[in-house]
Structure 1
């Protein structure tokens, strides 16, 4: 709090601590008063000070008060965890959600529930702690350790989050009964039936918070830099280790009780730092207070939006608040900063440029081989000759239905959807000069999901409404991303980070829609997982044939403009290209492709990232060559993923989107590692 008079210091302290505490009391009373039955403030005070054996007092003391206290504890703990992580990593964007700690703890708890239920015996804290700590270490090392930049670290956190989420989804699908009680908890909820959750959490929160407060002066020194801190006699590694353990413990204990609730650890510390506080003791204390305020306000908002018994998860509301906050922080950091934006380095260079006359036949052959493998894989196998007999009509009715109606239609659907996603990713990468661009990474897929789910909720998911909704949602999010791209100067890694915020906002809307659409929850969740299960000719004719007939030919005619855009806006304009119009037209075409893909197979990510990069390694940077190679690789990848999804754990089936994510996430991390 530099350059402030003593009176201003006093006023700011009163506002921050006194005002924050007063607001906490007000929100607590409002929170307790929410419910099917309104309870006057006087009765709340009486229930707390002079409890009697009446229903209203029991409701306040046993149901509503524990929930409010848990909101304060969880918000405060997550905020303090964010303070510590931001200091240790020197990353203003760090929090348990952006670094993947939430997803790691959640996956660890789900895996422990499935495989070690006796060991957990109702206490998942130790498992959550190990999962959170392991995830943090993975993200920290893969992003470059001490040399990691904020953008790179959060990008690594995003990919680890996607990987953990995919593995969690697989476990929840295969072990539905064992994990049945974890769905609402996995979205973040403060619902408490008694004081047991609070009693469990308080000791761990108190000890961890005490450690952070005791080490506040050490964190002040650490903020000066590792070399300076070491020069002042600090054991930097020990301070970091203790601080990270305390931060992960704060997160883990809250996740084990209320589930993963994101962005509180990002919002609250920045509120305090924006007020001018610099000492960690003050930042930590104030962040705890305001973290409680943020989470209580989010929970109040969740019950105002949906006051029914099936209320909205508070994790979704906190993401609705936190995602725009993350976008604002990224844009603010981008001003005057250009670090790590050289797209040519990250785009991948050809190890050996192969001629199209060789590469296209090889890819076509691989696709044919994979197609036959896909057709023959399953509980009922057959010889290749059976396929030709079924096509010619000389086979029996059973084989004809099996091959043509079930397996061929699904294989063709996977191949076409992969082609469309690869083309969309290639165009986005060229338009935004961003080798990390992909419909899922930059939020377009989430927009399509929001639009399609809205259509399912409003119109019942019949007729043309689902693809129309997906189209509208994808284009809306496309417009948002393009506006952010202009603000970010089309910088590669920064734009991908902005996409995280857009995707988080879209995912929060999806959670809300799923909770609201009680009748269609099962179909919505199946669709959102990104799957080709039980899909075929109807999806091909309704969703995929149109982009193949109209959008792909348009791209084939216009693809050379991406080579011109790669030279830079000034050079492209000097060559006579209308840069803004061209960029918008090509990006709109890519968004339309993504929208149709989402409508057909749900939210399948990473195809649009992997296929263009693999193509560049094989064919070089020319987009005229990249487009046919990319779409063939994309089709091959999703066809292979669909085959694996059906056969790896047969007769159970893994969603194709999860298989792609499990393959694509390590590739993305390798790409970042290669860029170091």
Structure 2
């Protein structure tokens, strides 16, 4: 009889059979009929096909295996030391930092590219890691602080890169191709770059198996066993970041593998630190190789699909099948005691916060920049400005407030500081709906875009609710599925960007959080949805107070676990869908609002939800106003501007208060 924790090799065997079968099919299709398999390793210099196989196909297979193993190993390490099942290499902002620095160098310092794109990307990754470590050092590299700092750095670098893309789209085509994660090889130089570096880090991690086991439990237990928690967490963080940086510098951004590899390993039964690291590396390698060989087996017309983004298409179905078997690590809960300050009179503070809405809306409606500079609207201009600026201001505030409210609910239900509306998957469903419409309709109207986004968002919502009815289905599993759906939508975006589709500009503006096209009826509808959500806070407040205390406590207090979770996830999903459909996936407000409210001292559920909504709405309202005026006559989408300006502010708060 097998041990309860025995690892089942079925997922690995399935991926191995698929990868090897496709590799054999692709190689046999390129080999001459009379050639032997030995000719691949020892090619005849006079036979072009053999030389191509030896110098392009074979190194591509080896690079794919090494890259997948490195990312799977990095994800497993991060999930253990941060005790968060949603952690992956992107958590530390490594890929985003490399992409941003490479974009900046390409635009303004092209001569630096002579040093090699790999080293510039590596420098960007190192700077991102340095930012995360410096921001979380004062708190002893606590899992919550590192997770939040890494996520904000990642979002911030991504927002700046997106802003550069909007204004310099044609100059960054080469970065698109690199960032999409193509594994094309022209010789064995990629293998020579990767294997000594990855091997060195892997050997280091092999000596850290016992510390990683202890870091997977709470810090107090690890210290009681004599472990220097901060020192070993720093070494493990640097090792995981090094793995991600080496891979990113070599082949670009490879998505999903760092999350899927460890998740599949746990779903296969890998529990102990050593076996989890080994199986994560193996499954990551097989997943990436199988994806790459699938891409190579497609007709030439479809080989523009980037392997780095296409991993979600193969990994997502496998993860969905195994999601019920998945044993998640307990994420680091944001305990009330983690923040030293509490408001003595939160109701008064909330009232004062709400009074900021009056001057904020007044500035957004009356003050602006025109051909003659800054000016206030004259009395006779108020009505026209209300018709023009009013819907934008109301939609920006409502969208930010809805996302922040949804984020606050998700973080309290799951106890996961990485939970945000963007992670829920509803935004990805809406985005896929809009993309499908843009690709199939000749001239889609605004109403058709809203309908397509609503259909995609509702489809994901029904999927989530259907899965949540399964016994034992946790919020973290739902968030993991949301991330998977986000990876699928990211694949579609990567294909559009690398193919230079002419409809990309319109889509990029919407994805960046633009309020350009919002009409009065849509703005009023979003405000009505926000009002209904705010009115529901007294009804759900008790659930949100008790659920973070644990299932046993909540059940003993009379909370209907399945029923309450379904309602809370439905509210979050509907709020996210409403904001996304009207003004696009406004990144960051859903993460930033709840954390600023918590850091400000709003800890009780009702007060935190209301404060989060006001803060999130103000963030997007002010961002929309500044983005409209600061580089007039050009405009910066509200979502991007909020991330670029608000990100550093939130990082400072996290660094100071933890």
TM-score calculated relative to the size of structure 2: 0.76
Q: Distance in 2 between matches of 1:232 and 1:429?
A: 31
1:339–1:138 distance in 2 versus 1, CA, 3 Å: same
Give the drift of 1:122.
5.6
1:384–1:297 distance in 2 versus 1, CA, 3 Å: same
Q: Which residue of 1 aligns with 2:191?
A: 202
Please say which of residues 311-320 and 588-597 is displaced more in the overlay: 588-597
Tell whether the 8 Å contact from 1:77 to 1:251 is kept in structure 2 after alignment: yes
Q: Which residue of 1 aligns with 2:363?
A: 369
Tell whether the 8 Å contact from 2:15 to 2:287 is kept in structure 1 after alignment: no
Q: Distance in 2 between matches of 1:429 and 1:340?
A: 9
| Deviation sequence 1:545-601 (CA, Å, 0-9, x none) | 33434x345445544202343354799999999886676556545533432322222
- Aligned mate of 1:308, from 301, 305, 316: 301
Tell whether the 8 Å contact from 1:434 to 1:491 is kept in structure 2 after alignment: no
Tell whether the 8 Å contact from 1:530 to 1:601 is kept in structure 2 after alignment: yes
Q: Distance in 2 between matches of 1:235 and 1:587?
A: 39
- Aligned mate of 1:294, from 276, 287, 293: 287
Q: Distance in 1 between matches of 2:72 and 2:555?
A: 47
Q: Which residue of 2 aligns with 1:560?
A: 538
Q: Distance in 1 between matches of 2:377 and 2:230?
A: 65
Tell whether the 8 Å contact from 1:422 to 1:611 is kept in structure 2 after alignment: yes
Task: Give the alignment of 1:503-542 within 5 angstroms.
Answer: 503-508=486-491, 510-511=493-494, 518-532=501-515, 535-536=516-517, 539-541=518-520
Q: Which residue of 2 aligns with 1:471?
A: 454
Give the drift of 1:466.
1.8
| Deviation sequence 1:521-550 (CA, Å, 0-9, x none) | 222222212223xx24xx22463333434x
Q: Distance in 1 between matches of 2:144 and 2:471?
A: 13
Q: Distance in 2 between matches of 1:580 and 1:284?
A: 33
Larger radius of gyration: 1
Tell whether the 8 Å contact from 1:457 to 1:513 is kept in structure 2 after alignment: no
Q: Which residue of 2 aligns with 1:29?
A: 24
Tell whether the 8 Å contact from 2:74 to 2:240 is kept in structure 1 after alignment: yes
Q: Which residue of 2 aligns with 1:597?
A: 579
Q: Which residue of 1 aligns with 2:524?
A: 545
Tell whether the 8 Å contact from 1:230 to 1:236 is kept in structure 2 after alignment: yes
1:481–1:115 distance in 2 versus 1, CA, 3 Å: farther
1:541–1:191 distance in 2 versus 1, CA, 3 Å: farther
Q: Which residue of 2 aligns with 1:381?
A: 373
SS in 2 for 1:654: coil
Q: Which residue of 1 aligns with 2:109?
A: 116
1:73–1:380 distance in 2 versus 1, CA, 3 Å: farther
In structure 2, list runs of 5 or more residues that go unmatched. Answer: none
SS in 2 for 1:121: helix
Q: Distance in 2 between matches of 1:345 and 1:219?
A: 28
Task: Give the alignment of 1:186-201 within 5 angstroms.
Answer: 186-192=179-185, 194-195=186-187, 198-199=188-189, 201=190
**1:656 aligned onto 2:638:** yes
In structure 1, list runs of 5 or more residues that go unmatched. Answer: 393-399
Give the drift of 1:480.
4.6
Give the drift of 1:261.
0.6
Equivalenced residue count is 642
- Aligned mate of 2:67, from 68, 74, 78: 74
Task: Give the alignment of 1:81-92 within 5 angstroms.
Answer: 81-82=74-75
Task: Give the alignment of 1:598-637 within 5 angstroms.
Answer: 598-611=580-593, 617=600, 621=604, 623=606, 627=610, 633-637=615-619
1:592–1:268 distance in 2 versus 1, CA, 3 Å: closer
| Deviation sequence 1:201-230 (CA, Å, 0-9, x none) | 333323224424654663345446599999
| Deviation sequence 1:459-486 (CA, Å, 0-9, x none) | 4533533212222222333345556767
Tell whether the 8 Å contact from 1:467 to 1:543 is kept in structure 2 after alignment: no
Task: Give the alignment of 1:171-186 within 5 angstroms.
Answer: 171-186=164-179
Q: Distance in 2 between matches of 1:497 and 1:271?
A: 12
Tell whether the 8 Å contact from 1:76 to 1:289 is kept in structure 2 after alignment: yes
| Deviation sequence 1:325-357 (CA, Å, 0-9, x none) | 88978984547x585254796798536435477
Q: Which residue of 1 aligns with 2:627?
A: 645
1:347–1:154 distance in 2 versus 1, CA, 3 Å: same
| Deviation sequence 1:282-321 (CA, Å, 0-9, x none) | 9988876654432121123345677525622212222445
SS in 2 for 1:377: strand
SS in 1 for 2:64: helix
Task: Give the alignment of 1:223-622 within 5 angstroms.
Answer: 223=212, 248-268=241-261, 291-302=284-295, 308-309=301-302, 311-321=304-314, 332-334=326-328, 337=330, 340=333, 342=335, 349-350=342-343, 352-353=345-346, 355=348, 360-373=354-367, 376-381=368-373, 383-386=375-378, 388-391=379-382, 410-422=392-404, 424-425=406-407, 438-460=420-442, 461-462=444-445, 464-481=447-464, 500-501=483-484, 503-508=486-491, 510-511=493-494, 518-532=501-515, 535-536=516-517, 539-541=518-520, 543-549=522-528, 551-555=529-533, 557-568=535-546, 584=566, 587-611=569-593, 617=600, 621=604
Please say which of residues 435-444 and 284-293 is displaced more in the overlay: 284-293
1:540–1:208 distance in 2 versus 1, CA, 3 Å: same
